[in-house]
Amino acid sequence: MKLLSIIIVILLSVSFVSAETCFDNDEDGYLSDECGGTDCNDNNPNSWQVGVFWVDNDLDGYYLSGLTTAFDDGRISVCYGSEIPEYYIEETQGPDCDDNNNLLTTNCEIPEFSVIAAGLALIGALGTFVLIRKK
């Protein structure tokens, strides 16, 4: 009987301690994940859930590739709140060849006509330089 009382006292102490250490620090209504809750950031009331998204810095629908992530498809897990944070996307068209330029998506090669135009401009500039030097 005495042993049972001791066990009960121990169990009550343990439950009291765990109840005391598991509180909602940022008071967003979600317990931290250490306490069996879902709050991935118990110090920020605007973040309480984990989502897996692609990064899209130029918001063209193509994701930033080359990141080392836990997922094979380049997504990363993000702790967030009621809305998907800016520059993260749920759906994508594919990897972005330049994620800082929303005009470039799948092909970042310089178009041939630009190379020809740049060459003509250079020849023109050299010709002007030679004419000025001859005067």
Which string of x and - marks every residue 85-104 that binds Ca ion (by CB under 5 A)?
-----------x-xx----x
Residue 10 CB, nearest approach to Ca ion (Å): 32
Residues 85-90: contacts with CB under 8 Å, at least 24 apart: 87/55, 87/56, 87/57, 87/59, 88/51, 88/53, 88/54, 88/55, 88/56, 89/53, 89/54, 89/55, 89/56, 89/61, 89/63, 90/53, 90/54
Distance in angstroms (rounded) separating the CA atoms of residues 15 and 106: 57
Residue from 18, 23, 31, 39 that binds Ca ion (CB under 5 A)?
A: 39
Question: Which range in 13-21, 56-64, 72-80, 115-123 contacts Ca ion by CB under 5 A?
Answer: 56-64
Residue from 53, 62, 75, 89 that binds Ca ion (CB under 5 A)?
A: 62
Residue from 22, 28, 35, 37 that binds Ca ion (CB under 5 A)?
A: 28
**How big is the CA angle at 79 (ends 73 and 85), to the nearest 5 degrees?**
80
60 binds Ca ion (CB under 5 A): yes
Nearer to Ca ion, 37 or 52 (CB): 37
DSSP-derived secondary structure letter, 32: B
Distance in angstroms (rounded) separating the CA atoms of residues 112 and 17: 71
26 binds Ca ion (CB under 5 A): yes
Residue 48 CB, nearest approach to Ca ion (Å): 4
Interface with Ca ion (CB under 5 A): 26, 28, 39, 41, 48, 56, 58, 60, 62, 96, 98-99, 104
